[in-house]
Structure formats: C-alpha cells, structure tokens
Chains A and B, each alone.
Chain A
Amino acid sequence: MVGAGFVPGMNAVIKGAALAAGELGWEVVGIRDGFEGLLHPEHYPEGGLVPLTPHLVETLDPAAGSLLGQSGRIDPFNVRQLNEDEIIEEVDQSDELLARLKEEKIEALISVVGGQGLTICYKLHAKGLNIVCVPRAIENDIASTLVSFGFNSALSFTIEMLDKARQAAQAARKVAVVEVLGVQSGWLALQAGIAAGADAVLIPEIPCDLQTVAAKLKEKMTNRRSYGLVVVAEGAKIVDNSQVPANKVPENTLKASLSPLAAGDNSTYVIQRSGLAAETVANGLQLLIAEETFPLVIGLWARGGAPTAVDRQLGLAYGAGAVQALNAGQDGVMVAFVPPAIKFVPLAEAINKVRTVPADNEFLKTARSLGICLGN
C-alpha cells in the first residue's frame, strides 16, 4: 500500500517487496490508491487489488509512477462520505478496513508512508494489524533512519535546478533566491546548496538575519562576479524582517463576523503559501544590497521524475527489508537505513520525531568552511 504524497521511483519499493516475498514463496497483492482499493473495490472494474507476481514486477519501469497509485490523504480513521441525508461527514472505517483485510486473507501489510502515514499505521497496529512501514520523505525529515526513500532523487533534481538558477543569475547579473522544499528540516536546502555552490543557505533550524546574508553577498559580489545564489527552505525563519513589507490582511469587522475565532494572518502559526519564503527573502535582501534579486520556487517539481541510482537501490532494499522484517516475526516496525545495516524501528519510536539538522552536523561544518552563509 502506498500512502499519500508522491516521490520518484515508488515502483522500486513495490518490486523489492514482491521479489523478496516471491523468494519466500509468499503471495503478494498490491492495494490500489492507498486503502481505496480495499475499502471501495467497486471503484475499480479491474479489481482494487493487484496480484504482484515476480513476473509482473520484474518488468516494472522504475521511472514510471507507482503501479498502485497512492492515496489522496485518505485516513481510514477519518473517511469523508455522504450520510443517508446526503450530508458530508467523516467516519472511522478502520474496523471495516481490518475486516476487509481479513476477508481478502491478507495477513500482513507493507506500507510506504510519510510522517503522518506512520501515525496512521501505528494506530492500525494498535488495533491488531500486522504492519511494516517503509519511510518515504522528500525532505528526509523522518527520524530513526538516515535517509528516507525519495530524498536522494529530490536532492539530485534540486541541485540541477540550482545550477540552472545560478546560470540565469549570472546572465542577468542578479541574485537568484530559490525556495526549496523543507518546512521543518533543511536537509534538502543545505545539501543541494552546498553542491550547487550557493552563497547562502537558509534553513528552518537556524534563524536567519538578512543583514548577515546581505553583508556576505556584498563581500562576495564584485564587478567581475555580479550575481549571487541564495537557497531558502520553505520553513526558514527570518529573525528581523521588519523592513520587509508584511503580507498581512488587517483585522476587520467583516473578517471577524465571518470567522468568529479568527487568528490574524500575521500570526506566527499561519500556514504559509508556497513561494512566500523566496519572496520574503528576495524582497528583504533587495532593500539591503545594490543588486536586484529575483525569487524562484522549485516546490512540487521535485516530487516528479525518474529516481536516482541511490533511490532505486534504496527502494529495492527497503521493500526487501520489509519482507525480512515480517519473516523475522517483527511487525509494528519501520524499516530504517542505519549504515551499514537495514534495521527495524518500532513505530512507537518512529512517530512524533522530526529529523532536523543538528547544530554540529558535518554538512553545516562543510558549508561554513566553503564560505556559505547560513544566515547567523
């Protein structure tokens, strides 16, 4: 089963699990579109389950989208449906899901999921489901594993895009400010920024002062090098951006009237739209330096495309690892890559943790020694 949120090369995990299970003589079926194929088989004329025979998976295209599709944020504990009065409501269908698994004689479930999916699997495990999870995260923010499936492909693509942004900045003699994925963790921004030779990398873990970034850019930019590249993670925190025009909607009576418990749009806890970080940093920097800046957003582009060699190998290893876990009698675990081994981490330990960049991380040391400004 593949949870919500796409990453490149999902077929590699499916293939790894199916081949490893085949070696053990186990029968494997895939569930279409998260749990949809199981809960609503009537939506699939060809059946909600796909028999994953070694013959079928051997020829799976690693660059294609997932053979099984994925769920669109479907949580079996919270399924939206119409009641008898055709009123929309959310209901708990977890018991129905477990019954359907039993009906289909499915003894164990391998689930490729992100952070939220891990909690859902943890709850299903608490209800008795035999389940093993494979971590999937573009931002590499799942704790207990060094690397989540999908991160390396996103990293590779982001580096390629940063190279192009730098070339564009060079041609235009401007400063490119490129926003990359990473609300809570700055791995993608940091590692891609180092690889692409950015002048500054701003990540959520290190509150950033734009004055410091501006000073660094002034130092680096000369008549012969009149361009710059700043990489900013979506969740980067700008310490003092009072000089930046705030994108705030003033409190007004109409707003209060329509939305009784409204928090202001300038609240710390407002969900920021994609592109806001790049726009904020680009606008703020332009007020502090002589050169022009321009914002670019990589965003969801990083979720598509073909997987890298690393992700193809990792996907196969994670898929096979999940089967090994089940064969070893382990369930309620997440497969983790803790070099040099594939390990199994209990779901209770895997949830509620975010893998952030620690202050003493080697990538941070490398960035500093390369002269990359981290905003502090």
Chain B
Amino acid sequence: MNSSVLTGTVLNIQRYCSHDGPGIRTNVFLKGCSLRCKWCGNPESIRVKPELSYDPKKCKGRECSLCLKPPLPQGAFYFTEGEEGPVKVNWDLTSGIDESMSSLCPTGALEMYGKKMTVDEVLAEVEKDASIYRSSGGGITLSGGECLLQADFSAALLKGAHERGINTAIETACNVPWANIEKVLPHVDTMLHDHKLTIPERHKKWTGAGNERILANFKKAYETFPDIDFIARTPLIPGVNADEEHIRAVLAFIRPHKNVIDYELLPYHRFGLGKYEYLGKVYELDDYKTPSDEVVQSLQAIIDEAFGRTGKKDPEQS
C-alpha cells in the first residue's frame, strides 16, 4: 500500500510540547495500548477502536433528550427521576455507539475519542510548526497508548517526517513483538521508554503484563540501534515504584549502554481522573497521592550521581 494513504487511529495531535524529546515538539497520540497501568493518565488511549466519551457539562438535559431516541441504544442514556439533567450514561450499554450515532448529539457532549487519519493528514498538521522545530531543535513525537502497536503507520509517519527534515521521537513501553520495533526504530532519533517496575510479578500486577519481553526488547534496541538517543523514564508512584531499589535497578540496566543518555522521573499527579468519568471507567488507583518533593529529589539525586551530574563542577570537564 502507498504509505501516504496508510491510515492509523489517532487520538490527538498536540502542538508546542516540551517534555517528550528535544526542543519544541508536536505530539501525535495514537490510540491503543498493550498495557493496563492502574495509574494510567490517558484512559481514552487504551482501546484500539474509537470509543464514546461524554462530557456532562455540555449536556442540555431533558430539553434535548435526542440521545434517548433511536438509533442510540435503548437504556444507554437516561434521566434520574426529578432531575432535569445532565443525562446519565449506562456505560455497559454504549459499546455499539459509533461516530454516526455520537454525532447526533447537538451539544458535543457525546464525542468519539480517536479518529482514522492518513499519514499525509497527520504530517500536514505536524509540518505547520516546521520553523519552530528548526529554531528549537524539536520535531514530532509519537506517543499513545502504545505507538508501536500501529507499527506500519508509525514507521510511515516517522519516515515521512525524516524525508521532510523533521526530527523524530517515540514514547513507548515496548510491550510488543520485536518485529514491530524493528519496523519503526530505523526512523527514530530519540526513544523515550518506560521502566515502570523491576520485579516481573509486580510489573504484571500493576500494568497487566510482565516485563520480561519489555526488558529484552529494550536491551536489543540499545544494541541494534546505536545511533538512537534512548531516554529511560519512570512514572513515579508512591507505594508502587517510588523507591531507591527500583531506581538503582533501572540504572544498573541502562548505564552499561552509552546510547541511553538520560533517565527521567515523572511524578504521579492523578493525571487522568476526570477522563475516567468521561469514559465510564473505574479508576483503580484511587487513594494514591503525588510523591513528595523530598522523595523525588532524593531519587533524582541517585540518577544525577549515576550520570555524573553531582552538582559539583568537575574542573577537568569544564
């Protein structure tokens, strides 16, 4: 197939991002994930297929009531007795709703997360900021979900970006077959990758899958693609992985590989809570709090030391 007309399911394209690779970047979030992390901040990115979202703040209530009529499924939307609205959603009855049905909502309260886009359509959006990429050293970052699940689409996007002189990065957990990784990495300049937990059983408990394949993929990627800048990351969740042992285990894994240029900590901020309500999903990490500044700083100090950034200026290096 002509790669420019290849389509993928895109969740969102976000311009002017500064945390996912060098410079100012455009993040392209692809839909579909291979893990189910309990702290997930992007619940709308988990399923591969487009899915319904509902924002009650936009609902006009009983005066509209269009969603109570066919073709929308009977019982999927309802009002509580004595209340004017907003309409309530029985999420277990919404699985058959598609774009054509959600578009019947005149207020935009019902929308689909995710739409099909071609490589050219995405690149046209990304190219709008080409001058900013040039001046800042930025480019495109594919994120998700798990962008490596849509390997052909991702590879075509990043190849197209390179052909246009745009720097490329991906953000991945690498819980995919090596064949997917092999397709995409030849077109990648920077790979941000998550080391979520060290112990396989605990990784499985908190993310839904063990980390054996993930770690094997990381190692193979470091060795097979020496020119890529790899940046390791950990979403820091107190009581789950915000501990010295995990940080040291990650450092022991990455430091022998000189193309792993950094290790970043992402303190957990209960990112996606509002969206769980929009999707009717249950948030399973209810009572966890943001890690304290002291914890983050102490763990960051371990990383800085491992990377030779102790804060003391080395006269020989200056």
Binding site for B on A (CB under 8 A): 73, 75, 77-78, 80, 82, 85-90, 116, 119-120, 122-123, 249, 253-265, 267-271, 273-275, 348, 351-354, 356, 358
Contact status B274-A269, CB under 8 Å: yes
Q: Does B80 contact A (CB under 8 A)?
A: yes
| In the complex, chain B residues whose CB is within 8 Å of the CB of A354 | 80
Q: How far is the CB of A177 from chain B (nearest CB, A)?
A: 18
Q: CB-CB contacts of B24-51 with A at 8 A, as 1s and 0s?
A: 0001010001111000011010011000
Inter-chain CA distance A275–B288, complex, in Å, is 12
A260 touches B42 (CB 8 A): yes
Q: Which residues of B contact A353 (CB under 8 A)?
A: 80-81
B218 contacts A by Cβ under 8 Å? no
**B225 beta carbon closer than 8 Å to chain A:** no
B75 touching A259, Cβ below 8 Å: no
- Which residues does chain A contribute within 8 Å of B75, judged by CB atoms? 119, 122, 348, 351-352
Does B283 sit within 8 A of A, measured CB to CB?
yes
Q: Is B307 an interface residue (CB 8 A)?
A: no
Of the four ranges (under 10, 10 to 19, 20 to 34, 35 or more), the interface on chain B belongs to 35 or more
| A267 neighbours in B (Cβ, 8 Å) | 273-274
Docked complex: B224-241 residues within 8 A CB-CB of A? none
- Asked whether A85 lies within 8 Å of B271 as measured between CB atoms, the reply is no
Of B92, B273, B283, the residue contacting A116 (CB under 8 A) is: B92
Nearest residue (CB) in B for A89 is B48
Beyond the given A77-B95, A82-B209, please list 20 additional residue pairs across the A-B interface where CB-CB is below 8 A: A89-B48, A122-B75, A253-B18, A254-B19, A255-B269, A255-B271, A256-B14, A257-B20, A260-B27, A260-B29, A261-B11, A261-B275, A262-B272, A262-B275, A265-B269, A269-B56, A271-B286, A348-B75, A353-B80, A356-B80
Considering the complex, give the chain B residue whose CB is closest to the CB of A352.
B78
CB distance from B176 to the nearest CB of A (A): 7
The verdict on A87 contacting B18 (CB below 8 Å), with A120-B92, A260-B29, A267-B274 known, is no
> Closest Cβ of chain B: how far from A375's Cβ, in Å?
19
The winner among B14, B42, B81, B92 for most chain A CB atoms within 10 A is: B92
Residues of A within 8 A of B271 (CB): 255, 258-259, 262
| Residue contact A87 to B286, C-beta cutoff 8 Å | no
Taking a contact as CB atoms under 8 Å apart, the answer to whether A273 and B287 are in contact is yes
- The answer to whether A258 and B213 have CB atoms under 8 Å apart is no
Q: Is the Cβ of B36 less than 8 Å from the Cβ of A257?
A: no
Task: Give the shortest distance, in Å, between B14 (CB) and chain A (any CB).
Answer: 5
Report the separation of the CA atoms of residues A254 and B57 in the bound assembly, to the nearest whole angstrom.
25
CB–CB B92/A87 < 8 A: no
With contact pairs A85-B176, A269-B274, A269-B277 given, residues A260 and B90 touching in the complex (Cβ less than 8 Å): no
Encode B188-199 as 1/0 by CB contact (under 8 A) with A: 000000000000
Q: A253-B18, A257-B14, A262-B41 are in contact. Are A270 and B47 (CB under 8 A)?
A: no
A330 CA to B93 CA in the complex, in Å? Answer: 23
Indicate if B133 sits at the interface (CB-CB under 8 A): no
B213 touches A86 (CB 8 A): yes
Q: Are A263 and B275 in contact (CB under 8 A)?
A: yes
CB distance from A276 to the nearest CB of B (A): 10
On chain B, the residues within 8 Å of A271 by CB distance are: 273, 276-277, 283, 286
Residue of B208, B213, B286 touching A88 (CB-CB under 8 A): B208
A82: nearest chain-B partner, CB-CB: B209
Do residues B175 and A87 form an inter-chain contact, with CB atoms below 8 A? Answer: yes
Of A86, A257, A265, the residue contacting B270 (CB under 8 A) is A265
Give a binary string over B166-204; 1 marks a CB under 8 Å from any A CB, 0 the rest. Answer: 000000000111000000000000000000000000000
User: A353 to B269, alpha carbons, bound, how many Å?
Assistant: 34
Interface: B282 (CB within 8 A): yes
Q: Please, which residues of chain A bring their CB within 8 A of the CB of B177? A: 85-86
Given A119-B93, A257-B18, answer yes or no on A270-B277 (Cβ-Cβ < 8 Å): yes
Q: Which residues of A contact B29 (CB under 8 A)?
A: 260
Contacts of B92 in A (CB 8 A): 75, 77, 116, 119-120, 123
Provide the bound-state CA to CA distance between A86 and B249, in Å: 25
Are A257 and B290 interface neighbours, CB within 8 A? Answer: no
Cα–Cα, bound, A87→B145 (Å) = 12
B283, A258: Cβ atoms under 8 Å? Answer: no
Q: B208 contacts A261, CB within 8 Å?
A: no
Please give the distance in Å from B269's CB to the nearest CB on chain A. 5
Task: Let me know if B278 is at the binding interface, CB within 8 A.
Answer: yes
- Residue ID in chain B nearest A73 by CB atoms: B282
Give Cα distance in the complex from A157 to B61, angstroms. 38
* Sample of 28 A–B contacts (CB below 8 Å): A77-B95, A80-B36, A87-B175, A90-B47, A123-B92, A249-B270, A249-B290, A253-B17, A253-B18, A254-B19, A255-B269, A257-B18, A258-B41, A258-B271, A260-B14, A260-B29, A261-B42, A262-B272, A264-B274, A265-B274, A269-B56, A269-B57, A269-B278, A271-B286, A275-B287, A348-B75, A352-B90, A356-B80
**CB of B266 within 8 Å of the partner chain:** yes
B85 smallest CB distance to A (angstroms) = 14
